[in-house]
A and B are shown apart, each in its own frame.
Chain A
Amino acid sequence: MAVRVQEGAFDPGQAVNAMQAANVGVGAVVSFVGYVRDFNDGREVAGMFLEHYPGMTEKALAKIVAEAEQRWPLLKVEVLHRIGTLAPGEPIVFVGVASAHRQAAFAACDFIMDYLKTRAPFWKKETTGEGPRWVEGRQSDQDAAQRW
């Protein structure tokens, strides 16, 4: 079970393949990749800066993964989140979940993303034509996390 917070880019394809990694007990891998979009809330986005709370970030992500492992029978979980400067089109976040069967992997991946969105201390600041702006938290993300 790994949690990584890093400035460097990552390869989502490689990350997915590593989820099975010669473990023949794995019957299902579900993954989520989040990307920087070039448009948000009515403005073109030229780039993004991701701030975080060093120390708490890793702790919060590890807690979310531990809770997922308590709820579902999982064989491997990987959470990768970038910080610092990112350009449109770049992957920001990867969540991979491996299990014997698909139901647990689908549910756990969904759960981890919902909790990450509402409990992990990251903040996005977008660079737009009208200057930089902080992305505001969304009620729909709060509602999604309430489902669990």
Chain B
Amino acid sequence: MNVQVVYFARYRERLGLDGEALTGEFACVDDVRQALLARGEPYAVLAEQNLMCARNQDLCRLAEPLEEGDEVAFFPPVTGG
């Protein structure tokens, strides 16, 4: 399965990239996160307790199921307004 992962704000800066394409067996958003965490630093930032995530530009839980071609986003708590 192919997914496009995107990062924002502090995570984007920490990882030094806006996003990347990932291929693997991902049943849910957390499977993508675990695959990234397994790479070690600087991906450890994705272990933060208050991490937020989105699937196809809708907020979701880590248990959200995935389909081929989905866009998955990881970001710190939002601070607009």
Write the nearest CB–CB distance from B45 to chain A, whole angstroms: 12
Q: Inside 8 A of A104's CB, which chain B residues have their CB?
A: none
B10: CB under 8 A from chain A? yes
Q: Quick check: A123 and B79 within 8 Å, CB to CB?
A: yes
* Residues 36-68 of B at the A interface (beta carbon under 8 Å): 50, 54, 57-59
Q: How large is the interface on A (under 10, 10 to 19, 20 to 34, 35 or more residues)?
A: 20 to 34
B75:A135 contact, CB within 8 angstroms: no
Q: Which of chain B's residues have a CB closer than 8 A to the CB of A93?
A: 80-81
Return the contact of B73 from the options A34, A56, A118 (Cβ within 8 A).
A56
Given contacts A56-B57, A59-B57, 10 further A-B contacts (CB under 8 A): A52-B80, A56-B58, A117-B80, A122-B81, A123-B10, A123-B78, A123-B79, A124-B79, A125-B9, A134-B76
Residues of B within 8 A of A (CB): 6, 8-10, 50, 54, 57-59, 73, 75-81
